[in-house]
Amino acid sequence: MPSAMVSQTVQGAVLSATSNILAQVLTSYKEDTPFTISLSPILKFAIFSMISNPLNILWQTFLEDIFPSNVPANPSEKQLKDKPAQTRTSKRNLLAKFTLDQTIGAVVNTLMFLVYMAYVNDSGAKGAASWRTVQADVSGRFWPMIIDGYKLWPAVSLASFLWVPINKRVVFGCSVGVLWGIYLSLSVAS
């Protein structure tokens, strides 16, 4: 795994753990109970982040390779060695990336999260019981989570594609995802 991917994955795991800790603080405050940190959900969220972040880095790289944000301003013009090429933002490519990210990317990420969390939260049961739990969680939580995600992630995705360099997009998403992670932590806890 390249060092940039390792670095982004570790940063994402730290941000994911942070969001879970904040969710625990909010729950304690809301329920007016003394705050005690629970390591189990923090580790579950950090491990999920370490699994999903490399896949998301590859996904973002794939999208950028297939649909680059910046394309030559005048493709017929020959580029001179000492003069940098003029580029323009491709609206078509931005729309394609955005659409794929908000459909395929959203579905895959939501399914990965739900399957992982349902399985690890029911890990004490025998395999068949865990898969029944996974199926129940996916069927009960998938659409509400997708709909809630569409209240945040389209704006994040568009901002990311427009202004964030490819090598910083997953960490940018994880940073914004601290708020989303609080939502997910509270959702899994309920």
Pairs from 57-60 (Cβ < 8 Å, separation ≥ 24): 57/5, 57/8, 57/9, 57/170, 59/101, 59/105, 59/108, 60/166, 60/169, 60/170
Q: What is the pTM of this model?
A: 0.86
DSSP secondary structure letters along 82-130: TSPPPEEE-HHHHHHHHHHIIIIIHHHHHHHHHHHHHHHHTTTS-HHHH
> What's the pLDDT tens digit per position in 56-105?
999 999 999 999 998 988 766 665 666 667 889 999 999 999 999 999 99
> What's the pLDDT tens digit per position in 1-18?
688 899 999 999 999 999
> What's the pLDDT tens digit per position in 127-169?
666 788 899 999 999 999 999 999 999 999 999 999 999 888 8
Output phi, psi for 70, to 5 deg: -110, 130
| Domain coordinates in residue numbering, the chain | 3-74+87-189
